[in-house]
Structure 1
Amino acid sequence: MRILFLLLVFATSLMACRSGRDMAAVDPPPPPPVREPVVVDPEPEPEPEPEIPVVEEKFDFEREEDRVTQEVNRYFVILGSFRVHDNANRFKSALEQEGFTPVILLSETGFNRVSVDSYTSETDARQRVMQIRRSFPQYHDSWLLIRR
């Protein structure tokens, strides 16, 4: 009986410790995919055209020939404005060497305005100011004078 009891205990212990079946290895579920935020570059806003300063005033032409050729025009492209007449003349000479045909205008406020072009249309005058600013960076401060 003792042997039978030992045999029974031995058989039970073998069955209890035995793992006869291989358990299938279960992989953990994959982590959810990481969603990276999509960064959309905003459309670059077009740079606005720089504003063109405009002054409206009365003026006279320095030379009678200039008055005759430009009397009908109302819009003048100004590259320089000087209190001292000699400075305006020096600037006019420098502009002539650059290919411009400048004219000195004597304003009612006492300034000597150096104009390089004049137009009957404000749109044409504004386009010329922008063209000068692009082609001649040194004249980035050119502006528009409107004859009153």
Structure 2
Amino acid sequence: MKALFLALLIAAPAAARNTIGVYRSWGAFRDAVPARCYAIARPVTAGGRSTGWASVATWPGRGLRASLHVRLSRPRDRSAPVTLTVGERRFDLAANGLDAWATDGPSDHAIVTAIRSGRSMSVEAVATGGRPFADVYLLAGAATAIDAAALGCVR
């Protein structure tokens, strides 16, 4: 699992990133500039692709706390919706290109609450060309990583 997070570190810009910890399938990190802390994971199933991730971030300078951001594993049809599912709960996400996020603060809160208690989540969309796909994430360790990231930005 640690190799997975090394890949995340290599793929993302390296701006003074500090590892807070790795918790099962999720990692928690702190960036100094811009000041932010986040829990992040790669999908376990993404149609054979190694791209894509889901994160829950705290940005003190922007007043954001526990804010969801998803990078889809493939380009989506821009006219098709993006849906996140955790257990029986389904959430419509706002999206722009490869990126998706909660539509508002209450939705962010509801999604993160569901992630904290769920076993897995999927993000479904339709790829360019009309083929549906789903990025599936295991949620073991997500709650601990989210908490560690939030605490990492208290300093």
Please state which band the TM-score falls in when normalised by the shorter chain.
under 0.3
TM-score (structure 2 length as normaliser): 0.27
TM-score (structure 1 length as normaliser): 0.28
Structure whose residues are more often helix by fraction: 1
Structure whose residues are more often strand by fraction: 2
